[in-house]
Structure 1
Amino acid sequence: MALFAGLAILHCVSGIIFTDVVTDLVKYYGRTTMVTEFSCKRNESISLLKTLMKNGHQTKIMTINSLNIGYPVPPNHQVFALNLDCTNSSILLKRVNELKLFTSPFRWILYYTQSETILKSYFLDLDLLVDSDVTLCKLLENKTVLMTKIYKILSNYSMQTEEMGFWTKDGVIVNYNFEKNIARRRKNLDGIELNTCIVITNKDSLNHLTDRRDKHIDSIAKVNYVLVEHLKDIINATLNYSVQETWGYKDNNSEWNGMIGELMRNEADIGGTPLFFTSDRVDIIDYIAMTTPTRSKFVFRQPKLSYVTNVFTLPFDTNVWISTVCLVIIGAFVLHLIIMWEWKKWKMYGRSNNQSAVPEVKNSIIDTAFFTFGAVCQQGSSYIPFSIPGRITAIMLYVSLMFLYTSYSANIVALLQSSSDSIQTLEDLLKSRLQIGVDDTVFNRFYFPNSADPIRRQIYLQKVAPKGKKDHFMPIEEGIRKMRKGLFAFHMATGPGYKIVSDTFQEEEKCGLKEIQFLQVIDPCLHRIQESGIQAREVGLIYTKKPDCTSRGTSFISVGIIDCYLAIVILAGGMMAALLVFLIEIYLYNR
């Protein structure tokens, strides 16, 4: 078992014993450790300093008698050693307690030879709580060192001891039944009462914290209430709950309200409802774990392909379009050559034989172009070549273009009802024509206007709360109703949101749902509860997962004007051009 991770160092009366103990312990745990030793005389620690530095460990020596107790101990040093026999050692301990350096991740080794009666007075007013790692080392007569861990359940509780084992000249001897993990060793808190604050946004949720009714309301509070109750059983504590309506934000007087306010005023020991990890909160509260994953995202039904791109150019690959144009040009060229040959033949033989039949198609490039254009548009022609080669060419041109037209039309129908995957990032969402709505919750009201990221800031200013217009914060039911109609992105907690989606959407409407993360958060976990499977179970009972798409393509999707936008533009342009030509003809005729 491990004695202590990144362990603090023992300072013995004998410099030789002290050096050997430190060397053996560091070697035993196999970690490079930054060590700060408070010694009575600097020259006593030179041997230790040289030994640790030789083994690649950083070490700092401070003489306790000349130390200015008001000097703050550097917070980056995780391992400290102190000889309690030194003068002013008790004063240093009080200063360390004020700086809260007995808390995790700092670790201490305290060596002494004086009577334990005097020693106990050193720790009466110190907060050596359950997360502290303080090791008392006593040198015995046979040059054996007894190692003991000490801590308190509460500040005013009696001292608890944990016997670790012994060190001898032959090396480290430890108690192999000693659990190295502090959390597992000290999970019995003897039924102490812990004040716990939870956040409830809907008062009726207090009546349904465990019955799983209205799972989409205060989901995170309901899940974590159950998890905190499990935690209470694990650590053998009792919980005294208080309720707040908000997680905690600065008011006009720069004072924190809500759950954070209770934690700062020491009115609450535990925050029973998770909250976002933000830079302005790091200095005022300690984050332990996130018991539920953060699932607040923009959710929207992927728009049809025609909404974001020109579907009329998509049915064929570029090479197919080039081949089609070449086919039309070659067909028109061959057809024009045949028509020229027909007219030449008629002039040579038809006139001389007094034949009255004249080729229908004029020997004109314009007529050939109109004939080919009619074939491309599947409109046909009022006249055709009279020769067999001409008719074969015309039929081949019509048949080829008919197959191309059929394939094109089939692809257009499919594309008009296909979903686009062009919206993948927040920037894509900002540039799209999708409208945006946000679930009207306390944290959304705070984080959206206070986002510093340029893209997120523009989403808020342009689409969530445009200047001079009503903002788009709305109840979750209204937002999901608009999302169901399409062309609408809604920011919501996905657990409660998907519960409503599952209850209200048709099966085919659940297909094409897309998520984009907006809030930048992390998801740590409460390991003890997670490893046992309790966390996954409770989260799964409250949070609804994204609905599966089981019937894609089974419903009829109507095509709107926007889907045919480009075709309508071309048609309107053609009609305007035709009207312009008509007016010009009238003008020229009257001239």
Structure 2
Amino acid sequence: MELISFVLTYFLSKDLVMMTAYVCWTPEEISELYRRANRASVRLVVVSDFPRAPLMEPRGRFREAMLLDLACPDAELILEQASASRGFNCRHSWLLLHNASSDRSFIEDTLASCDILPDADVVWSSSERLVDLYRIKPGLPLLQTELGLARNCSRQEMLALWGALPTAVSRRKDLRNMTMKGISLVSQPAHFKGWSDLRNRQIDTFPKLTYPLMMLVAQDLHFRFDLRQVDLYGVAHNGSFDGLVGRLQCQEAEVGLASFFIRPDRMQVADFISETCVLTCTFIFRQPSRSAVSNVFLAPFSGGVWAASGGVAAAAAGLLVALRRARERCRPQPDLQLFTLPEAFTFALGTLCQQGFHSTPAVTSVRAVMFSTLLAALFVFTAYSAKIVAILQTPSDALRSIDDLTRSPMLIGVQETTYKKVYFQESPDEATQQLYRRKIEPQGERAYHSVVDGIARVRTGFFAFQVEQSAGYDIIKQTFTEREKCSLKEIEAFKLPLVAVPMRKHSGYRELFATRLRWQREVGLMDRERRIWLVSRPRCEASGGGFVSIGIIDVLPALQVLALGAFISVVLLASEVGVHGIRRKTRQYHDAHQLHEQTTIDA
């Protein structure tokens, strides 16, 4: 029973409380194993029928202890299953029991067909020693490291060993100049001028950002890439991917040298080992003046002020009519005959527009009403004019949300990318969905532009362009003036997933790569590459506000009112001419009829 004590001590020293035992022991020994495991609070599963052993899942929430007695018949079936299903990984801690021998050549012969790669935790246990095992690459010899303990060691000795022993990643980070298959992406070979070409950052940005990071990993882990290139990231077709993801899915490459979005469909066929950057896609536009998106002539006053101004004008008109009627009862005045109700309304409207009146009555009370009305209208008009000037001169914040963009007359464009429609359609935000249905979908393919064309339209037109920030900023820095940079605004439409480095599903090098990339992030090497390839927002360095020129669009509502008034006047003129013609013909008809009747009577 010393073997059972050793097994439980070994796994408990690693804080493993779930164990699967592949053994062919006697019922008494198995019962004793169950009893001691229960006493040690270890959840135990014993498998004795090796041909019907359950599959080993390479991924899970918890680490699991795996015990295999190599003296059992059909033990090689368990080794083959673990190798084929990637059961030799960091999730499963294997203890291989063999009482007969710990000779290096014997271990190599026994495990010759097993893919025990660098992320595996496999220990060979003989009666006199423990040996840590892994191989750099399938087909290469096992690397065997004696741990310096035997089965008769105590738990304190094991804890001391694990405390002093470097991690598996630290011990195994020398891959001894092996060659590893890598896959990268060049979407536009005609424009590709090398991995360090900074002239066109917006073309294949993420492959160019990832390439030096992965080359540094190769140098750090001492291996070489057998590099291949594709021109697509990969799209699913009936469960199978093409492009870069497809190569990883078919296990034609071990790791990708191009970062891309972490998506659920891609996670089914590939692993992601480290995020490289957070990508933000926003609508970039030049904030329009308030008059471009709303009627600036209605903006100066609130509804209450407009109502109060209208009330004062109506009260003045009513008072003038009342004074005329009161004066007529006492002594009629010819100049007061002008103040009929329509004329009083015309006076009130003209007063608000600073037009005055064409007549000045001699009655003092009427003059007082007219003077006070004109003075009140002067104050209102002065405040109104000053507010309009302030609105036209101050920076605008007319568009601040997706809803504002949807309601505005601004045209919308989207960067031409592989995900140009996907994230709009998948967005849970109703405002984003509404923007897509109203502004983007009706345009069809005309809504999608290259970065250069889209940013050019932002500069020259009433246009909002949804673009990757870094790509857009690169063109903006090259083409915009300082004052134009200061007018730029951004609205984020949706959150994009993280951009990460992909790897073959259940790769045996995942932990090695993840650890070294994490180290690059901690020491600032990854941030350095981001600053090189991802352009930051250009700073606004234009000094002084200056004057804002006023265009047709700023006075367009006034011109529309003028045009509407002219149209109504023409319609009324035509109506008056028509009515006058009808009346004249009616009068001529009546005159002729009366003349005819008179002639008849005379006859």
Q: TM-score higher than 0.5 here? A: yes
8 Å contact 1:339–1:385 — kept in the other structure? no
Structure 1: runs of 5+ lacking an equivalent: 1-11, 27-31, 141-145, 352-356
What is the CA distance between 1:501 and its match in structure 2?
Answer: 0.8
Using a 3 Å threshold, how does the CA distance of structure 1 residues 328 and 276 change in structure 2: closer, same or farther? Answer: same
What is the CA distance between 1:115 and its match in structure 2?
Answer: 1.8
Partner of 1:369: 345
Of the two structures, which has the highest relative contact order with CA contacts closer than 8 Å and spacing of 6 or more?
2
Partner of 2:520: 529
Cα distance in structure 1, aligned partners of 2:384 and 2:32: 91
8 Å contact 1:297–1:515 — kept in the other structure? yes
Cα distance in structure 1, aligned partners of 2:575 and 2:162: 107
What is the CA distance between 1:190 and its match in structure 2?
Answer: 1.9
Q: 2:534 aligns with which of 543, 553, 573?
A: 543
8 Å contact 1:297–1:517 — kept in the other structure? yes
Counterpart amino acid of residue 521 in structure 1:
P
Secondary structure class of the residue paired with 2:475: helix
1:83 maps onto 2:60 in alignment: no
Partner of 1:157: 140
8 Å contact 1:339–1:361 — kept in the other structure? yes
What is the CA distance between 1:224 and its match in structure 2?
Answer: 1.9
Counterpart amino acid of residue 111 in structure 2:
F
Q: Which structure: larger Rg?
A: 2
1:406 maps onto 2:389 in alignment: no
What is the CA distance between 1:508 and its match in structure 2?
Answer: 1.9
Partner of 1:62: 46
Counterpart amino acid of residue 487 in structure 1:
F
Alignment of 1:257-268 (within 5 A): 257-268=242-253
Q: TM-score, normalised by structure 1?
A: 0.79
Greater alpha carbon shift after TM alignment, 393-402 vs 166-175: 166-175
Structure 2: runs of 5+ lacking an equivalent: 502-516, 584-603
Cα distance in structure 2, aligned partners of 1:576 and 1:509: 39
1:237 maps onto 2:223 in alignment: yes
What is the CA distance between 1:272 and its match in structure 2?
Answer: 0.8
Cα distance in structure 1, aligned partners of 2:22 and 2:546: 76
Cα distance in structure 2, aligned partners of 1:156 and 1:131: 16
Partner of 2:480: 505
Q: Map Cα deviations across residues 60-82 of structure 1 (whole Å, 9 max, x no partner).
A: 4132x224446323554631321
Cα distance in structure 2, aligned partners of 1:567 and 1:198: 59
Q: TM-score, normalised by structure 2?
A: 0.78
Partner of 2:465: 490
Secondary structure class of the residue paired with 1:194: strand
What is the CA distance between 1:332 and its match in structure 2?
Answer: 4.3
8 Å contact 1:39–1:45 — kept in the other structure? no
8 Å contact 1:215–1:496 — kept in the other structure? yes
Larger % of helix: which?
2
Using a 3 Å threshold, how does the CA distance of structure 1 residues 139 and 279 change in structure 2: closer, same or farther? Answer: same
What is the CA distance between 1:236 and its match in structure 2?
Answer: 1.9
Secondary structure class of the residue paired with 1:489: strand
Q: Map Cα deviations across residues 254-285 of structure 1 (whole Å, 9 max, x no partner).
A: 76443234334444322111122223322222
Cα distance in structure 1, aligned partners of 2:36 and 2:289: 72
Counterpart amino acid of residue 528 in structure 1:
W
Cα distance in structure 1, aligned partners of 2:79 and 2:427: 44
Secondary structure class of the residue paired with 2:464: strand
Counterpart amino acid of residue 401 in structure 2:
Q
Counterpart amino acid of residue 473 in structure 2:
Y
Cα distance in structure 2, aligned partners of 1:40 and 1:419: 80
Cα distance in structure 2, aligned partners of 1:313 and 1:33: 74
Using a 3 Å threshold, how does the CA distance of structure 1 residues 306 and 67 change in structure 2: closer, same or farther? Answer: farther
Counterpart amino acid of residue 73 in structure 1:
M
Alignment of 1:182-197 (within 5 A): 182-197=168-183
8 Å contact 1:200–1:206 — kept in the other structure? yes
Q: 2:401 aligns with which of 424, 428, 440?
A: 424
Secondary structure class of the residue paired with 1:247: coil
Over the matched positions of the two proteins, sequence identity in percent amounts to 22
Partner of 2:595: none
1:98 maps onto 2:84 in alignment: yes
What is the CA distance between 1:450 and its match in structure 2?
Answer: 10
Alignment of 1:106-505 (within 5 A): 106-117=92-103, 118-136=106-124, 149-161=132-144, 168-170=154-156, 172-180=159-167, 182-203=168-189, 206-250=192-236, 256-333=241-318, 343=327, 348=330, 358-360=334-336, 362=338, 364-415=340-391, 418-422=395-399, 424-425=401-402, 429=405, 432-441=408-417, 443-444=418-419, 448=422, 451=425, 466=442, 471-505=446-480
Q: Map Cα deviations across residues 541-578 of structure 1 (whole Å, 9 max, x no partner).
A: 222112223338546354344x5554444444433443
Secondary structure class of the residue paired with 2:279: coil
Secondary structure class of the residue paired with 1:291: strand
Secondary structure class of the residue paired with 2:275: coil
Counterpart amino acid of residue 188 in structure 2:
N
Secondary structure class of the residue paired with 2:532: helix
Cα distance in structure 2, aligned partners of 1:391 and 1:162: 112
Counterpart amino acid of residue 154 in structure 1:
K
Cα distance in structure 2, aligned partners of 1:101 and 1:429: 53
Number of aligned residues: 549
Q: Map Cα deviations across residues 314-349 of structure 1 (whole Å, 9 max, x no partner).
A: 3223333343334434444555555556x26xx64x
Partner of 1:3: none
Counterpart amino acid of residue 277 in structure 1:
I
Partner of 1:6: none
